[in-house]
Amino acid sequence: MMEIFYRRSKEHGLKITPQRTAIYQELLKAKDHPTADVIYKRIVKKIPNISFDTVNRTLLTFSKIGITNVVEGYGQPKRYDPDIAVHHHFRCLQCNTIIDFHSKDYDSMAVPDEIKKQFTVINKKVVLEGLCNKCRRR
């Protein structure tokens, strides 16, 4: 994954700074689809003088150059996913946990003709919503 980071950064004229590298490495470790605030709280322990704005702008830049995906927060802050391979999400409506899953059926789902006529679809992602096992047991 670091190779993708280096290659895409160079392709987009983005300097590879220690701050950007640390933010990306922290994001790669995360399996919880963290917000910019969560990444900031984790990274400030390693780089005390980094600002929240730097972390936030860096994550947005990463999504623009295609090395991370933005998972909308549904009324909450944006969350980030370093997994750029095709996959889908399950979101718990109670605790807002987001879980990755793979489905060949969803991957190959056809885009409706009325959408194709009006828009150019770049990618497809399915988001299932419900209660995770932990919340369902409560």
Is residue 34's pLDDT more than 70?
yes
Residue-level pLDDT at 75:
75
Query: Residue 73 — very low, low, confident or very high, per pLDDT cuts 50/70/90?
Result: low
Please report, for the chain, the start and end positions of each structural domain, with discontinuous segments joined by +: 2-81, 88-137
Query: Residue 30 — very low, low, confident or very high, per pLDDT cuts 50/70/90?
Result: very high
Q: Distance between CA atoms of 83 and 89, rounded to whole angstroms?
A: 11
96 Rama class: left (phi>0) / alpha (psi -120 to 50) / beta = left
Tell me the two tokens of residue 74.
């549904």
Is residue 138's pLDDT more than 90?
no
Residue-level pLDDT at 72:
73
Residue-level pLDDT at 79:
93
Q: Distance between CA atoms of 106 and 94, rounded to whole angstroms?
A: 24
In the predicted model, what is the mean pLDDT of residues 60-85? 89
Domains 2-81 and 88-137 in one fold: no
Assigned fold of 2-81: Arc Repressor Mutant, subunit A (1.10.10)
What global pTM score does this model have?
0.85
Is residue 46's pLDDT more than 80?
yes
In the predicted model, what is the mean pLDDT of residues 85-111? 93
Q: Distance between CA atoms of 2 and 9, rounded to whole angstroms?
A: 10
Contact call for residues 55 and 40 (beta carbons, < 8 A): yes
In the predicted model, what is the mean pLDDT of residues 81-94? 93
Is residue 128's pLDDT more than 80?
yes
Query: Residue 110 — very low, low, confident or very high, per pLDDT cuts 50/70/90?
Result: very high
Q: How far is CA 127 from CA 25, 79, 133, 134, in A?
A: 26, 14, 17, 19
Tell me the two tokens of residue 4.
């993708």
Assigned fold of 88-137: Dna Ligase; domain 1 (3.30.1490)
